[in-house]
Amino acid sequence: MQRGLSIPIAVLLLCAASARAEDEAPPAPPAARRLLLDEYFRGKITRFEKGEIEIRYDFSDARQLEDWVRFKPFRVGGDFETVALEGETLRLKGVGAMHHKATFQAKVSMEFDLTPWTDRDLGAVIAEDSVNDQYVLYSLNDIYFQRFDGVRTPQHMVTRFGVPDGAVRADEQVFRYVARGTEPAVKTMQRLHLRAEKEGPEDRFFIGDREYSGREPGRELTELKIGFYVVKANGVFDEVVLRGRLSPVWLEREKVEPALAAPVAVVPVGPSPEDKAAQALLDRFRAGTLPGEELLPVLGDAAVSAPLRQAACEALIAAGQKLLTAPALSLLYSEDVTSRRLGNDLVCALTGKNFGFDPRSPDDKRSRAIQRIVQFINKNPAEYGASR
């Protein structure tokens, strides 16, 4: 005789309740949306095409500093004394480095303006991501590392660190020179335009128009961090432009989507009316048909682009007209920090002295430095354009 299957009523009720609970369970939360590039970076993206990105930093917004990370690739005692935004510039003092938080693949470049407060042992660094002892320094007037080779003359250098050498102890820093030399001369408080770039094992370092380049030894660095460094030095970094291809490994690690939320803003083509007028004055000065007194106001005109104001300052410095020293003092009183910096650069160059004027310091400190300049000028008024 076939018997029927007997299931307790309590079990049936429990199964029914479990089925209802599964039907009524809330849906799983959607996966978090990945940040787009212009949501992730605080710098201004000025180009993104076929995986290549260009990001600019003028440090006018304090949040831009969030894109830079402290690190220390070299074994040097000490630490940063100062990491601060001052007058829309980044000041680094002490021992350490700041790299951009992105990782680039195989090829990267960075150009920037640097005003050295000390004329040695600072510049750019490109390091292998996640490998502390594999990096390249692009140095202004290195003396710290050369002293291990018994060199006492400061030289600009491209130097590869981390090259294996069985003759060197494990606690020593191993490096090989890629290129080095002494030109151009570097003075404190005078703004320089620099560019450091790497493509595979090829390195290039530009100090103004002077190029240092070569092929580095050792294994090729492929996952690249780029930034600035100082070793017992002090400098001001500004107008930074990074270019390179973002690493797919880094994009995945940071959960960043290689796309933009908004198209790159189109930059107007051609110079502004203010730049056209300033360029005409500069051309006339270089041709010898305009007196320096009429070019001097360009340095203090905030409507003129910074590179053109810098070019005008350099032209006046090259001309060496000491009679412009006293008229240039008006720039030191400007509300615009760039005007004060350019005025100080010109005064220091024409007098051959550094009076300790810091364009970013408080009013009282600037006033004391200006008084020192005035006292110096008044000792030789005819030479420096002062009137009794």
Say what the pLDDT of residue 30 is: 61
pLDDT of 164 reads: 66
CATH 2.60.120.560-classified regions of the chain: 40-257
What CATH number should be reported for the domain whose range is 40-257? 2.60.120.560
Per DSSP, 58 falls in state: -
- Which amino acid is it at 141? N
User: DSSP letter string over 164-222?
Assistant: --TTS-TTSPPEEEEEEE-PSP--TT--EEEEEEEETTEEEEEETTEEEEEE--SSPP-
What is the model's pLDDT at position 207? 94
Among candidates 115, 113, 97, 136, which has minimal Cα distance to 56?
Answer: 113
**DSSP string for residues in 311-377:** HHHHHHHHHT-GGGHHHHGGGGG-SSHHHHHHHHHHHHHHHT------TTS-HHHHHHHHHHHHHHH
Location of structure tokens 């004394």 = 81
Report the C-alpha gap between 118 and 366 in whole angstroms: 19
- State if pTM tops 0.75: no
Nearest to 348 by CA among 382, 313, 381, 386: 313
Q: Which residues contact 216 (CB under 8 A, 6 or more apart)?
A: 136, 158, 160, 176, 178, 201, 202, 203
Query: What pLDDT is recorded for position 8?
Result: 53
How many of the other CB atoms lie within 10 Å of CB of 10? 8
Question: What's the pLDDT score for residue 33?
Answer: 81
What pLDDT does residue 209 have? Answer: 87
Q: How many Cα atoms sit within 13 Å of 303 on the Cβ side?
A: 9
Q: What is the mean pLDDT of each run of 10 residues along the chain (388 residues)?
A: 46 51 61 88 93 92 95 93 88 96 95 92 93 88 92 94 61 81 88 93 94 91 95 94 95 95 73 89 94 94 86 91 93 91 92 89 91 92 81
From CA 363, how far away is CA 287, in angstroms rounded?
38
